[in-house]
Amino acid sequence: MNVRRELDALIAEKLMGWTEVGFMPNGDPVGNPPGLTEGEPADGFYCVPPHSTSIAAAMEVLSHFDSYELSFNSFIKAKYLCEVTKYSPEQYGRAYGTSALEAIRLAVMKAIGYEVNE
């Protein structure tokens, strides 16, 4: 199974409030997003966004934290820094990356308790 799609499922469930998260036979994660209104099917077949590979989806993930900072430093090799904080439940992550997406992905992984080897 694709590690990044596993991460997408984990982010959806642990941070964004998705329920009944699982995987299709092709490895794509699916589930029920939060806020389904009456009449919408809660059948677990809504596609989980590609949080770990799309900068637009990654920016949506940042909006679920109480505070975040994304900065650029041209003096170091891993030029982007992302720091995320959520107060309830308490989650914190800070990471450098060679791209904004990589820094976001690593910081979010740390915040939700996913093992990160830098």
Same domain for 38 and 25, yes or no, is: yes
What is the mean pLDDT of the segment spanning 16-31?
Answer: 91
Same domain for 5 and 39, yes or no, is: yes
Same domain for 92 and 74, yes or no, is: yes
The pLDDT tens digits for 82-117 are 999 999 889 999 999 999 999 999 999 999 888 776
Same domain for 26 and 73, yes or no, is: no
Decide: residue 24, CB within 10 A, 0-12 exposed, 13-18 middle, 19+ buried: exposed
pLDDT value of position 40: 72
Same domain for 67 and 113, yes or no, is: yes
The pLDDT tens digits for 43-90 are 768 999 999 899 999 999 999 999 999 999 888 887 999 999 999 889
Q: What is the DSSP string of the chain?
A: --HHHHHHHHHHHHTS--EEEEE-TTS-EEEE-TTPPTTS--SS-EEPP-TTT-HHHHHHHHTTSSEEEEEE-TTSSS-EEEEEEEETTEEEEEEEESSHHHHHHHHHHHHTT-----
Q: Structural domain tally of the chain? A: 2
pLDDT at 12 over 70: yes
Q: Which domain holds residue 113?
A: 55-118
pLDDT value of position 44: 65
Name the token pair of 72.
Answer: 């650029």
Name the token pair of 36.
Answer: 């389904």
Same domain for 64 and 48, yes or no, is: no
Same domain for 108 and 83, yes or no, is: yes
Name the token pair of 62.
Answer: 């940042």
pLDDT value of position 118: 61
Q: Identify whether the C-beta of residue 21 lies closer than 8 Å to the C-beta of residue 33.
A: no
